[in-house]
Structure 1
């Protein structure tokens, strides 16, 4: 019997790795929480075929944080692709992942991996020295050329900053600038299954540019959902989570939230 091609992609984000023995903001044991996220993905009843890390891999961009991240990621027995975020340092990031041939040797860390049933097109939305995101005209030209190379194959566009306002005022100050230009490029292609991002430490969904944008929760903390214009920044030690994106030729892509931790069950009902 013919077995349908299926691809399961795990997504983790905003891990904020610290040097060994240090905590994220002195509160969250982000190193331990990444280890738990890796164990969670590898313990699923169907192990992902690929893992995407969508930015803020480390917290300060220091080489010792990247060394810690590589030590933790050595336990991940699944191919992974890593995209930088605003807490990453581009050159230190590039040096830490020098063995990953998909990363360019110079300039922004845009890349395309086309070895799976779903093509992965990643954008470096970071602005060195700043926390907001932006993609310059050269990056948008690269994206258009890359997407135009195959207008039929299912494609994911991956970047750290969501291309829309979240409604959380203290996050939207660090949003992606000029997202309408990115929308013009992506909206010209009808084979973009999802735009995947991180940054906001929350799951958010929005229909945008002819596709669906999905942000991934953090493995460390949850940024508080405070919507008043004068809201003060806040975070919670909420249950960490990741995303699972299941693609099949018959059904397209469905995205699931997967909470990380030990919970009561399983019970024999559904």
Structure 2
């Protein structure tokens, strides 16, 4: 089973640049074109939040148009730049999304499952795994405790060492780590938000963040560092779920590069 993870496209109304700098709409189109050329095709694409930048209906109209180009099925969760009501309306035909409350859900594929955890707080940039989210996740995990599982969420619950990212992390990390640690079948915790590839152990599993399909947030670990971004080669992740408990992750830069050459 192949699962492609894209994240943080920050789509804008047609003709408008992200942060008046980057063509985030065109960047996502190029990412989808590359995904559609993969052979074999992904069985599933997950989008880990910040689908749009300001949460406006015009942005979500662009999002639906661009995402409709995907050949593979799509799962989406909101990020801090999404507006939950407008997000729910825009993706109302995605039957897995709940009709009210946080946009938590479970999708099963055979005897494997993807659990989506909505830790966003309306009007805030940080996330929160609170007691209500804990109760929901515990019940979801307990339904099939032995099924290999991926959990996806937007804000990662870790300190990255980048000061302007850590301010907007998901709070409640100890609560979440303890919840996940009780279920060894959780194979990955997939996040977005930080516009970079990062990974570390968390709750007895591996936490990974995906790069953005548009700009990269600068990796600055000086405590006095000011927020900054670069237009670096964007990318996405490809998770190769080979068997129940063997999940290999690849990073793929988005773009056209010299090659292929007849050597390896």
Specify the TM-score bucket, using the shorter chain as the normaliser: over 0.9
Contact 2:148 2:245 in 1 (8 A): no
Partner of 2:215: 221
Correspondence list, 1:79-118, <5 A: 79-118=73-112
**Is the partner of 1:167 in helix, strand or coil?**
coil
TM-score, normalization by structure 2: 0.98
**Is the partner of 2:237 in helix, strand or coil?**
strand
Structure 1: how far apart are the matches of 2:110 and 2:127? 28
Correspondence list, 1:6-25, <5 A: 7-25=1-19
Contact 2:80 2:124 in 1 (8 A): yes
TM-score, normalization by structure 1: 0.96
Partner of 2:172: 178
Structure 1: how far apart are the matches of 2:157 and 2:198? 11
Correspondence list, 1:138-217, <5 A: 138-217=132-211
1:73 counterpart = 2:61: no
1:33 counterpart = 2:27: yes
Partner of 1:53: 47
Deviations 1:213-234 (A, max 9, x none): 0000000001001000000111
Deviations 1:187-232 (A, max 9, x none): 1000000000000000000011100000000000010010000001
Give the ranges of 4+ consecutive aligned residues of structure 1 lying more than 4 Å apart after TM superposition: none
Structure 2 residue runs without a partner (length 5+): none
Residue 251 of structure 1 deviates from its aligned partner by 6.3
Structure 2: how far apart are the matches of 1:8 and 1:165? 29
Residue 102 of structure 1 deviates from its aligned partner by 0.5
**How many residues are aligned here?**
264
- Aligned Cα RMSD in Å? 1.0
Contact 2:148 2:244 in 1 (8 A): no
Residue 117 of structure 1 deviates from its aligned partner by 4.8
**Is the partner of 1:138 in helix, strand or coil?**
helix
Contact 2:2 2:239 in 1 (8 A): yes
Q: Which of 247, 251, 260 does residue 253 from structure 1 map onto?
A: 247
Structure 1 residue runs without a partner (length 5+): 1-6
Residue 136 of structure 1 deviates from its aligned partner by 2.2
